[in-house]
């Protein structure tokens, strides 16, 4: 019986554990780095632009080639690409999906459905919205020599989000998950074409606001930093503050070391109030003058000015989103649902109106933790 068991295990191992069961010839495939999805109203067709990795030559690394195709659905357009270049597209290494800013309603859903349904797409692929007229401009106009891979470059920028905080990366799995959350609206980072050293390159900054299945507006880079502050995703970046000590004004640039934001709903006189409690650690990065904001007196004034400035930035951003878009990108509804379930049931049906008129109180505590390598401002003595 033991010998029989061993024989059965060996047979099953040969069948199911072979390393070549799903083998595909590499030279018969094209590796996609990223894709841009547009929609042609006049032709009633999707336009899919795929950035495919190509080997340049020995010692020069990799570049990219663009393939563009059309179809009544995204899947149909992708199939058309395969027919044109006679090789199967492999999406397992794709990093970004760039969506046209004109995609909305069922078109946006169709584009997302394909990327989430196809087994080769990774669920952590980044979703972005084009700030240009068409999404394909991001791939077509950047790195004109095609000696760099635009999609991989965008992926690297998104990975460095914490040191900038003027955009907020959103992987596909999180976006699709939040689409099902009642009352929650979402954002995606905006990518545009910019010039650097005479070359056109992709630039990230700001967020597109998506309510339901429509792109309804956007946040600029400053407003995006406030948004990231509120949702407790702020990990770094810099803030410039104008302060005044003993009648002398100076601009101080501060580096963000750490942040913690808590959303705290409470009911006051039959109304739900949302408290945004923020505590942030800053370091003094640069002082544009000789005013001493490092010693105790100057530091206390600077601390108050930081708190006042951050408070206003966040209040202005929250108010704009409430009044102009009625889009709960801050997930206030999630916090109310979690901490005040009975109250959520009362306001759920009219959440858009409740959110847009909700009183929001912002409480900011700033901690100045250091001044880098110097303990006083640089002084210039006239000779």
pLDDT tens digits, 93-125: 899 999 999 887 788 888 888 777 776 788 899
Structure tokens at 69: 């195709």
Q: How many domains does the chain have?
A: 2
Q: How many CA atoms lie within 13 A of 94 on its CB side?
A: 29
- Structural domain harbouring 93: 23-219
**pLDDT, position 378:** 46
> Rounded mean pLDDT of 18-25?
51
Considering the domain architecture, whether residues 192 and 336 belong to the same structural domain is answered as no
User: In a 3-state reduction of DSSP, which class is residue 292?
Assistant: coil
Which comes out higher in pLDDT, residue 247 or 137? Answer: 137
Residue 2 inside a domain? The answer is: no
Picking from 26-35, 338-347, 368-377, which range would have the lowest pLDDT averaged per residue?
Answer: 368-377
> Which among 219, 241, 261 is the end of a domain?
219
Enter the pTM of the model.
0.87
Strand partners, 183: none
Is the pLDDT at 26 greater than 50? The verdict is no
Determine the Cα–Cα distance for residues 52 and 310; give it in Å rounded to an integer: 43
Residue 29 inside a domain? The answer is: yes
Residue 127 inside a domain? The answer is: yes
**pLDDT, position 372:** 47
**pLDDT, position 14:** 59
Question: What confidence category does residue 245 fall into, taking pLDDT thresholds of 50, 70 and 90?
Answer: confident
Sequence-distant (6+) residues with CB within 8 A of 138 are 36, 98, 130, 132, 150, 191, 192, 193, 202
Question: What confidence category does residue 59 fall into, taking pLDDT thresholds of 50, 70 and 90?
Answer: low
**pLDDT, position 78:** 84
Q: Is the dihedral of CA 268, 272, 273, 278 positive or negative?
A: positive
Residue 366 inside a domain? The answer is: yes
Burial of 26 (0-12, 13-18, 19+ CB in 10 A): exposed
Is the pLDDT at 8 greater than 90? The verdict is no
Is the pLDDT at 1 greater than 70? The verdict is no
Residue 14 inside a domain? The answer is: no
Question: What's the Cα-to-Cα distance from 49 to each of 7, 69, 132, 338, 341, rounded to whole Å?
Answer: 52, 7, 15, 42, 45
> Rounded mean pLDDT of 43-56?
91
**pLDDT, position 381:** 42
> Rounded mean pLDDT of 260-284?
96
Strands of 178-237 (E only): list them. 186-196, 199-211, 214-219
**pLDDT, position 23:** 45
- Does an H or E element contain 6, and which? helix 2-16
**pLDDT, position 334:** 95
Determine the Cα–Cα distance for residues 303 and 112; give it in Å rounded to an integer: 45
Mean pLDDT of the chain: 87
> Which among 160, 194, 219 is the end of a domain?
219
DSSP letter at 350 equals G
Considering the domain architecture, whether residues 170 and 265 belong to the same structural domain is answered as no
Considering the domain architecture, whether residues 206 and 235 belong to the same structural domain is answered as no
**pLDDT, position 18:** 56
The pairing of beta strand 186-196 with beta strand 199-211:
antiparallel
Q: How many CA atoms lie within 13 A of 315 on its CB side?
A: 12
> Rounded mean pLDDT of 145-162?
93
Residue 381 inside a domain? The answer is: no
Determine the Cα–Cα distance for residues 318 and 275; give it in Å rounded to an integer: 12
**pLDDT, position 296:** 83
Determine the Cα–Cα distance for residues 321 and 327; give it in Å rounded to an integer: 6
Question: What confidence category does residue 149 fall into, taking pLDDT thresholds of 50, 70 and 90?
Answer: very high
């Amino acid at each position: 019986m033991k010998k029989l068991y061993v024989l059965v295990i060996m047979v099953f191992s040969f069948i199911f554990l072979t390393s070549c069961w799903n083998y595909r010839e590499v030279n018969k495939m094209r590796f996609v780095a990223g894709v841009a999805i547009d929609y042609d109203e006049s032709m009633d067709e999707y336009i899919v632009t795929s950035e495919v990795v190509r080997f340049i030559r020995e010692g020069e690394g990799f570049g990219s080639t663009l393939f563009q195709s059309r179809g009544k659905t995204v899947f149909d357009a992708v199939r058309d690409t395969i027919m044109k270049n006679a090789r199967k597209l492999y999406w397992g290494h794709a990093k970004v999906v760039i969506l046209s800013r004109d995609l909305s309603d069922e078109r946006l859903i169709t584009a997302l459905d394909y990327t989430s349904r196809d087994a080769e797409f990774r669920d952590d692929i980044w979703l972005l919205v084009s700030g240009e007229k068409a999404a394909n401009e991001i791939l077509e106009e950047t790195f004109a020599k095609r000696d760099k891979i635009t999609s991989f470059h965008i992926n690297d920028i998104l990975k460095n989000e914490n040191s900038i905080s003027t955009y907020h990366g959103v992987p596909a799995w999180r976006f699709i998950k939040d689409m099902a959350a009642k009352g929650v609206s979402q954002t995606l980072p905006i990518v545009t074409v910019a010039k650097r050293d005479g070359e056109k390159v992709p630039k990230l900054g700001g967020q597109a606001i998506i309510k339901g299945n429509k792109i309804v507006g956007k946040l600029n880079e400053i407003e995006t930093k406030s948004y990231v502050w509120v949702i407790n995703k702020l990990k770094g970046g810099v803030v410039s503050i104008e302060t005044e000590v003993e009648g002398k004004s100076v601009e101080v640039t501060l580096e963000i070391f750490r942040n913690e934001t808590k959303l705290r709903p409470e009911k006051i006189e039959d109304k739900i109030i949302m408290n945004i409690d923020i505590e942030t650690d800053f370091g003094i990065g640069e002082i544009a003058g000789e005013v001493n904001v490092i010693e105790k007196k100057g530091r206390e004034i600077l601390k108050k000015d930081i708190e006042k400035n951050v408070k206003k930035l966040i209040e202005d951003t929250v108010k704009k989103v409430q009044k102009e878009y009625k889009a709960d990108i801050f997930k206030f509804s999630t916090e109310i649902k979690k901490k005040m379930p009975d109250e959520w049931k009362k306001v759920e049906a009219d959440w858009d109106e409740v959110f847009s008129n909700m009183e929001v109180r912002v409480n900011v505590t700033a901690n100045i933790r250091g001044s880098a390598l110097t303990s006083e401002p640089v002084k210039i003595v006239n000779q």
